[in-house]
Amino acid sequence: MRVIGLDPGLRATGWGVIEAGSGQLRHVADGVLLTDAGRSLPERLVQIADGIGALIRAFAPAEAAVEETFVNRNPVSTLKLGQARGIALLVPAQAGIPVTEYLPNLVKKTVVGTGHAAKEQVQMMVRTLLPGAVLASADAADALAVAICHAHHRATRARLAGVPS
């Protein structure tokens, strides 16, 4: 099963695509969608939507996983991040792809073993779990971590339900 993981941001949206099945994970691709800071908010949201749409067409994921918003101290930044996150949820859903959301701490706990892992620890474990993956950036590593988290939790839910993953 192919999964796209998304780490939404208004400036940079990380993405990562993996294949998961039979207890194995395989890196397919990863990268970052960058928006033009000189454009208006609606134009930047269109850039994100167009980029995610192109990724879905190129990689044909069966499912999508999106990191939930991490609330920060700046309410304006949080609102803008929420809008980018809305696009990351909407575009796969419009394409008929099931979307699941994961809290950052759950992603870290699943991939690293602790919910308060540093970015460097996440990157190291992503490289370990996906041998040969050359990570485009920290945002791409985070997106791959979200995809890995989804693959693990999906497989667990399937086993509990008695359904093959």
Sign of CA dihedral 137, 140, 141, 142: positive
Query: b/e string for 77-97 if b means 16 or more Cβ within 10 A?
Result: eeebbebbbbbbbebbeeeeb
Q: Tokens representing 47?
A: 């850039």
**Backbone conformation region of residue 41, classed left if phi is above 0, alpha if psi is from -120 to 50, else beta:** alpha
Check if 67 is active-site. yes
| Given 7, 30, 63, 142, the catalytic residue | 7
The Cα–Cα gap between 29 and 16 comes to 6
Q: Is residue 139 flagged as an active site residue?
A: yes
Catalytic residue among 50, 67, 101, 142: 67
* Annotated catalytic residue, options 30, 63, 139, 142: 139
Residues annotated as catalytic are 7, 67, 139
